[in-house]
Structure 1
Amino acid sequence: MTIDPLICDTIMAGSTSKTVHDIFQSMEYGPTSSSSATAQAWLESHARTLGLFINGAFLNPAGRQLTSLTDAKGERVFSVVCAGKEDVSEGLSSSASGLRSWSELSCAQRAKVLLKWAGVLGQHGPCVAELSDLSGASCPPASLVRLAQYYSGWAQLRDARLSHWSPRGVVEVVASDDCPLYSLMLKVLPALAMGNAVMVVPGRVAAPSALLLAQLFTEAGLPAGALNVLPGDPVSLGAIVAQSPTVNSVTYCGNKQDGAALCKATAGLGVAVSVSPAVGATCPFVVFESADIDSAVDGAIEAAFKKRKEVQWVLCVQEGVLDAVLARLRLRLAGLKCVSLASEADRVLVEAAVQGAVQQGATLIQSCGPPASGLQYPATVLCGVAPPSPCVASPPPWPLLPLMTFRSHAEGVTLANHSPHGHAASIWTEDLTLALEAAKSLSVGSVWVNSHSVCDPSLPSSGHKDSGTCTDGGREGLYQFLQPSPCAPSLSRSTPALDYDTFGSAASPAVIPTESAPKFYRQFVAGKSCKSESGGSVAVQTPDGASVLAYCPDGGRKDVRNAVEAAIKVQPGWMKKGPSARAQSLYSLAKELEAKRPELAAAIRAQTGLSLDEADLEVELSVDRLTDWAARCSQTQGGAPAVPQAGSALSLPQALGVVGVVLPDHKPLLSLVTLLGAAVAMGNAVVMVPSQRYPVPALTFIQVLQASDLPAGLVNIIPGARDQLTAALANHNVIKAIWYWGSPEGCQYLQHTCTGPFKTLWLHSGGPAAEEEACWAPTSTSFLEETWNQSTQWRSVWIPTA
């Protein structure tokens, strides 16, 4: 049916001076009205000073520093009390008692509390929405209700669906000053659902809303102390809280700078730290020739200019539609008003970025001319910038949108992957095949097809590249708040004194010739058995230490570099082979391992002093473990989670890339096969450092690798000094993850060093012999599942429908 434009003009005449036709052409948004009366009344009830939330009640201790929010006129709207060191112990004591009360409830009872909180949140939705808008952490209450409903289901099913896993205990959730409320609650709710107590250290933006939500949790029946909120400096206060033995895990959300600082501040405290630094990430907005240009341009403007987001967008347009996109951009920007900047410093940064881009040949498209002064600046598109341009590599604050062009589809994906961040991407095309191919090729955690900024807790998303070390959302996002049981190798709670500059630089002991001629082993790099680059060797002692059993190469930084270069060449092709082909290669490897069973058993016996029967049993278990990983290759294929919005969603498991593995002394062959098999089965390449004490079984295993059909460079084995090789792995930018079994000093060094870019760390500083034995036992289902999880990262793909 066709509607006469004159009729539309008549209908709209009483409400606006513009016709429907005019609005359709400009695609501008209508005026919005907002009221903060409910939030203002709640603030008045607290005398406009929000205290700490400890043990189910607000506390306002005297003499604490205040953080104030002011309006456009410079008048104070409200203040938030910043917690001091003296408040931390009270909060931790409350968390300990709250954990006992919360853990005593059944799964069904915890689920009911979360569901009731969703209902309470629905009743007080206006207050939550208004307060989040006032503090700059805008978050629709409906999205929080969805979080509560989703994780209440997992709270109900935890024992049935996640058997052999237990809560970590007290979890500290830290948010940076610019972290949005939704990102914070995406950590808090799953932690509570799994039975943990949560200590929240929110930044300036999310603190007011976090305090209100904690009060609503108390109204919903959450035991006092199960959720405490201590506003303050995310890095310094977060590190103080993490020092307590009560805290068993730290998870962070916010910007990269504070995340890296928190990792360094907590290094050596014996607590695992996971980070999700999405704030400030650069995300590509890719427009292909097959896109609906009107919808794509409208989406780009909405994403970049309509509302302040925690990410920075870069527009990538295929050359064939560049003119059409530019014409639409000029038309749509013409009606936009200037946007408000946060500070004068932001204006200086924006103007410097614009001036630099123009000097490099960029063309400006602006909604209007920039005012001479003030905190107002027009929406600006920087056309024709290059990938190395500063405004692309590190975009300044809102509201600038760099625009780059590409020719082919492959070039568009390459351009989109140019960013060091891997948070999300938006791609626009009407070609479904192209959309799926591009989505699989982009190195990001979330891909939105013909849409942007779509969030749902059912979709797992991992931080790719420099955008995090953990997975949030879905079942996969629950594991950061769980630990395998009964075995749980823990980090040492002591903080050793460590010189990060000299770690791993000690010279290897001198090799003195002996009268006998022990065997000389070689390392395995790029599919070849070779000497170390240094040419040096290390003497391997017999179990009693009375004589030299063998000599092995003394690997170093150059050997690690050669191994990584070989690994990155072969890993993409290995991943593309698919689960079935990888499974066949692992079955073949298990067959070769069985054929070398006598030699490997003899090597284990000679190295460790075990009986021949015990050594042979370890080889047998290693064969079975490889077979298990081969069978699991085709069992993790992602799925299509049910989402409440119209459309379809996919969750896709992905390989990490190149994984560095420092092996334990316990079970030298079985541990190698367990970790190697899981990583390779998922599509990763590995650089492995055998046990410094017991390297012979791993070096004997090289014969098995040489007889297998694994691609050259997929598996590399470099023996030598553990600390020296650990430092080499930590400082290589290509390595995505490091699995470490070693000393507390090594764990501390990795936590302090692996922040630029972030590496996923799986650290073990030793534990009781019984726990070590339990981890490698065939019955340790949860440990094997954790090993598989550590090998995998997840990508969500959102495909909307009309």
Structure 2
Amino acid sequence: MAASSTSTVFSIFQNMEYGPAATSGCTTAQAWLEHHSRSLGLFIDGKFVRPADRGTRSLTDCKGGGVCSLVCAGEDDVSQCASSAVTGQRAWSGMTCYNRAKVLLRLVSVLGQHAQCVSELCELCEASCSSSTLVRLLQYYSSWAQLRDTLIPSWTPLGVVAVVVSDDCSLYSLMLRVLPALAMGNAVIVVPGQSSAPPALLLAQLFAGAGLPAGALNVLTGSDTLLGAKVAQNPSISYVTYSGNKQDGVMLCKATAGMGVPVSVFPGVGATCPFIIFESADIDSAVDGVIEAAFKKKKEVHWVLCVQESVLDGVVARLRLRMAGRKCVALPSEADRVLVEAAVQEAQQQGAKLVQSCAVPPSGDLYPPTVLCGAAPSSPFVVNPSPGPLLPLMTFRSNTEAVTLGNHSPHGLAASIWTEDLTLALETAKSLSVGSVWVNSHSVSDPCLPVSGHKDSGTCTDGGQEGLYQFLCPPCSSSPLPRSTPLSMDYTKFGTAASPKIIPDDSDAASAPKSYLQFVGGKACKSESGCSVAVQPPGDGGVLAYCPDGGRKDVRNAVEAAIKVQPGWMKRSPSARAQSLYSLAKALESKRRDVAASISLHAALSAGGAEKEADLSIARLSDWAAYCDKVQGATLPMPQSGSALSIPEALGVVGIVLPDENPLLSLVTLLGAAIATGNAVIMVPSQKYPLAALAFIQVLQAADLPAGLVNVISGSRDQLTVALANHSVIKAVWYWGSAEGCQFLQFTCTSPLKTLQLVCQEVEGDAGRDWSQSHPSLLEDMWRNAVQWKSVWIPTALDPTSPALSPLPV
């Protein structure tokens, strides 16, 4: 029903304005806040705690009214919380899967009793999460708690997990990480943002009342995201996962560098997402979707509208009709009004035309929904969008151009595609570098869908079975990063030490050490510097061989070769990739004696030990060849009619700094994992034992692999690590090396974000990984580190008996 009492049915259908929203006094939530004197403490060991002499932080609603105050946790609170979490985790993980599932299911009924309070508190704090969404999350993850040991056997919980979110992150994003961590048997310390803190505290209270052991879920509130770094510093923390804006995520990564705790980042807030309308779309439905997605009062992402030129006029005409008379949208603050007006003025100067719902108010924090028609991909208001209800509109001609526009953003969070052509929809979805694709819909999610942030939108996977593995430890490995205090480092000087000088000697040319070449772009070659470094045998002095002293330019050449071949390699069928890997195994078998001799000579192994490693390497390559076409995603059961697909995709170009242990077997294990899943690789041989990798080049030359897919660059490990970390095209770095190198990568690989797999190897080994063991979890763990996930949702006829899908707070 329209707001005006004199509206007719015809006028309602013409302007399509929404009826008046139901008013809510949030009386239940207000009563809960009053019960706590509007001053919420910390939740530690199953109860509220309010330490003396702590600072507080005030929380206000959208109208500037006071909601409550939050205690800012101190170092003593963090220690107490971590100690409680360790005890709680011991009790929680000691329960059977069935009993853990019972506790989570009991929460469903408890939440039903207090649904009004939870919903009202979320509305009051603008935390964007409904009770039905929480129920769906609880039901889904309680079933995984029941089936953990059945479907994920031998994997064990990490221990204590810290879940950190920024002030502008939704409660849904927070609980999407808390519940799977609990379901897998971990204890969780929540560091919520300002808006999600009161609902998180309420839910922690409900969890304790439902039978969750004391200490299994704790909530620490603070003044900023640096509280997450203080929590991560505690040696009891096994893993930190972050969701929110990019700035706070980068700050957390830098603050935790060198602590020895893995940190995953999902910076979904503030990302730019394409909304693509093809000429084959239902234009009316697409325009309705644009209005609903782009002009919300509070949204976490920025949309960019991409329209095919042939239907541009029709889309713009419908936008004018649908936007006419729409009310102004409240900006976060009056200061943001200046940014919005500057963006609009800049767009007009660049030739953009405005479509606005109403006149711009002369002052205040309100601004009308505005479409900026004629935007260019390089326009500042497209690349760095300002807050407020602004929607840039760009045009494209062909399907290929649409994909190019959609991939133009550095973010890879999500995309919405509108077309009635299913083939076009699936092809476009496959080509877009984003984690979620919605066909003829938008902003829809469900916990059964695995989602990875592509490009600069994340380094972890959430949702589905795939999202559970970040909270589990495989049985084949121990913790790769020892807990430690961050080293005092000058990051600008890391990797700048000069290579040792090579002094000519008077040895006979016939007995001179052999000189090896590196492998770039399918060719064996010298380094760009033309210099070499001496390879010394174990024990006392001498020179065993010379290898190229590669550097930044060699890495750049290798990346250029890799990015040319990787898209085609990824598009090859899994069976074709398998045949290429079988050819690599066959080539290694033919060169088995030469490669084994290099291992024996350099690593001081017996001839039998070297041949055994060569045989294991041949078998490992064959394993990866067989693995190529065995795990290829799935269709997922959604709570509503439609088709949901989960698709594993290659990361892109992966840099691998190889371990010292088992120089050949570790090489083929990591290489096989990367290329079997469609990646291209740049490998840096062990600085201590490089000859096995350099001898392997002759195997690569004899194999059926595209030129540039595998590159081997030798030289200073630290110098080449810096080159890999600073190259924007490289998507992931797998590193076996020093504590300084691990800390450097954690501090540096934040812009753009890179997926890191770090092992701080000691002088005698690499933190306990046995490369010769053939436990199936080894291949599974390596395979999951080599892929990122994409979910595709294609709605069909709506089923009125099914629960609604969980809307993303965008």
Same fold (TM over 0.5): yes
Query: Which residue number in structure 2 is paired with residue 316 of structure 1?
Result: 306
Offset of residue 308 of structure 1: 1.8
Structure 2 residue 693 is the aligned partner of structure 1 residue 730: no
Q: Residue 631 of structure 1: which of 626, 631, 644 is its match?
A: 626
Distance change >3 Å, CA 159–CA 621, structure 1 → 2:
same
Instruction: Please point out which of 344, 348, 358 is paired with 1:358.
Output: 348
Taking a change above 3 Å as real, the CA distance of residues 72 and 436 of structure 1, as seen in their structure-2 partners, is closer
* 1:335 positional shift: 2.5
The question of 1:347 aligning with 2:337 is answered yes
Kept after mapping to 2: 8 A contact 1:164/1:781:
no
SS at match of 1:736: strand
Change (3 A) 1:513 1:104: same
1:303 is the counterpart of 2:298: no
Q: Match for residue 19 of structure 2?
A: 30
The Cα of 1:773 is off from its aligned counterpart by 6.0
Alignment partners' CA distance in 2, 1:243 and 1:414: 42
Q: 1:202 aligns with which of 179, 188, 192?
A: 192
Contact 2:59 / 2:195 at 8 angstroms: preserved in 1?
Answer: no
Map 1:505-584; keep pairs closer than 5 Å.
505-514=496-505, 515=507, 516-584=511-579
Q: Superposition pairs for residues 42-57 of structure 1, below 5 Å?
A: 42-57=32-47
Counterpart for residue 134 of structure 1: 124
Give the Å deviation of 1:73: 5.9
Q: How does 1:406-555 map to 2 (within 5 A)?
A: 406-494=396-484, 495-514=486-505, 515=507, 516-555=511-550
Match of 1:220 in 2: 210
Q: Is 1:665 aligned with 2:660?
A: yes
Cα separation, 1, equivalents of 2:743 and 2:76: 27
Equivalent in the alignment of 1:599: 594
Aligned partners of 2:672, 2:332: CA distance in 1, in Å?
A: 51
Residue identity in the other structure for 1:598: R
1:307 shift after superposition: 4.2
TM-score scaled to structure 2, two decimals? 0.96
Partners of 2:296 and 2:347 lie apart in 1 by: 23
- Number of the residue aligned with 2:808: none
Instruction: State how far apart, in whole Å, the 2-side matches of 1:626 and 1:117 are.
Output: 47
Aligned to 1:716: 711
Q: CA deviation at 1:167?
A: 0.8
Shift of 1:13: 10
Where 1:719 maps in the other structure, the secondary structure is coil
Verify the 8 A CA contact 2:191 2:228 in the aligned structure 1: yes
Which one-letter code corresponds to 1:513 in the other structure? P
Structure 1 pair 99/796, CA: closer, same or farther in 2 (3 Å)?
Answer: same
User: How much does 1:766 deviate?
Assistant: 2.1
CA contact (8 A) 2:478 2:769 kept: no
Q: TM-score, normalised by structure 1?
A: 0.97
Q: Secondary structure at the match of 1:254?
A: strand
Is 1:274 the counterpart of 2:264 in the alignment? yes
Query: How far apart, in 1, do the equivalents of 2:73 and 2:129 lie?
Result: 25
Quickly say closer, same or farther: Cα 1:15–1:335, change in 2 above 3 A.
Answer: closer
User: 1:287: how far off?
Assistant: 0.4
Residue segments in structure 1 that go unaligned for 5+ positions in a row: 1-11
- 1:546-565 residue CA offsets vs partner (Å, 9 max, x unmatched): 32110000110000000000
Alignment pair present for 1:19 and 2:8: yes
Tell me the alpha carbon deviations over residues 655-707 of structure 1, each in whole angstroms, 9 at most, x when there is no partner: 00000000000000000000001100000000000000000011000000001
| The one of 605, 608, 611 aligned to 1:610 | 605
Equivalence for 1:149: 139
Letter in 2 for 1:150: Y
Q: State the partner residue of 2:101.
A: 111
Q: How does 1:142-291 map to 2 (within 5 A)?
A: 142-291=132-281
Q: CA deviation at 1:769?
A: 6.1
SS in structure 1 at match of 2:734: strand
Q: Is the 8 A contact 2:2 2:20 kept in 1?
A: no
Q: CA-to-partner distance for each residue in 1:735-754, whole Å, 9 max, x for gaps?
A: 00000001111000000000
Q: Residue 110 and residue 771 in structure 1: after superposition, are their counterparts in 2 closer, same or farther (change >3 A)?
A: farther
CA distance in 2, matches of 1:275, 1:726: 21
Structure 2 residue identity aligned to 1:534 = S
* Partners of 1:422 and 1:639 in 2: CA distance: 21
Q: Is the 8 A contact 1:444 1:464 kept in 2?
A: yes
Deviation at 1:29, TM superposition (A): 1.9
CA deviation map 1:542-583 (0-9, x unaligned):
122332110000110000000000000000001111101000
Structure 1 residue 300 displacement after superposition = 0.3
1:786 aligns with 2:781: yes
Counterpart residue number, 1:689:
684
1 CA distance for matches of 2:607 and 2:98?
51
- Aligned equivalent of 2:29: 39
- The question of whether the paired residues in 2 share the 8 Å contact of 1:461 and 1:471 is answered with yes
Aligned-pair distance for 1:15?
Answer: 9.4
Distance 1:17 1:198 in 2: 55
Aligned mates of 1:150, 1:16 — CA distance in 2: 45
SS at match of 2:161: strand
* 3-state SS of paired residue (2:636): coil
Instruction: Report SS of the residue matched to 1:733.
Output: coil
Residue 603 (structure 1) shift: 0.6
Alignment partners' CA distance in 1, 2:604 and 2:448:
50
CA distance in 1, matches of 2:273, 2:17: 24
Amino acid in the other structure paired with 1:112: K
Query: CA contact under 8 A between 2:268 and 2:413: conserved in structure 1?
Result: yes
Tell me, yes or no, if the aligned pair for 1:202 and 1:234 is still in contact at 8 Å. Answer: no
Matched, 1:759 2:754: yes
CA distance in 2, matches of 1:20, 1:545: 94
Secondary structure of 1:796 counterpart: strand
Judging changes above 3 Å, is the alpha-carbon distance between structure 1 residues 13 and 744 closer, same or farther for their aligned structure 2 residues?
Answer: closer
Conservation of the 8 A alpha-carbon contact between 1:315 and 1:402: yes
Give the structure 2 partner of residue 9 of structure 1. none
Contact map agreement 2:673 2:782 (CA 8 A) in 1: yes
Look up the SS of the partner of 2:742 in the other structure: helix
Q: CA deviation at 1:71?
A: 4.4
Aligned in 2, Cα 1:787/1:73: closer, same or farther, shift over 3 Å? closer
Instruction: Summarize the Cα distance change of 1:545–1:40 in structure 2 as closer, same or farther, 3 Å threshold.
Output: same
- How far is 1:467 from its partner? 0.1
Supply the AA of the counterpart residue of 2:724: L
Kindly state the Cα deviation for residue 72 of structure 1 after the two structures are TM-superposed: 6.0
Shift of 1:767: 5.8
Residue identity opposite 1:286 in structure 2: I
Is 2:315 aligned against 1:325? yes
- Which SS does the other structure have where 1:512 is aligned? coil
The structure-2 alpha-carbon separation of the partners of 1:45 and 1:144, relative to structure 1 and needing over 3 Å to count, comes to same
Kept in 2, the 8 Å contact 1:27–1:298? The answer is no
Task: Return the letter of the residue paired with 1:777.
Answer: S
| CA distances 1:169-224 after superposition (whole Å, capped 9, x unpaired) | 11011000101110011110111111111011111111111111111101111001
Partner Cα separation in structure 2 for residue 710 and residue 486 of structure 1: 30
Letter in 2 for 1:507: A
For residue 12 of structure 2, what is the amino acid of its counterpart? I
- Displacement of 1:235 in angstroms is 2.8
Give 1:622's match in structure 2, choosing from 614, 617, 623: 617
How many aligned positions are there?
791
Aligned counterparts of 2:601 and 2:515: Cα–Cα separation in 1: 15
Please give the per-residue CA displacement for 1:142-193, whole angstroms capped at 9, x wherever unaligned. Answer: 1111111111111111112112211111101100010111001111011111
Distance 2:244 2:182 in 1: 20
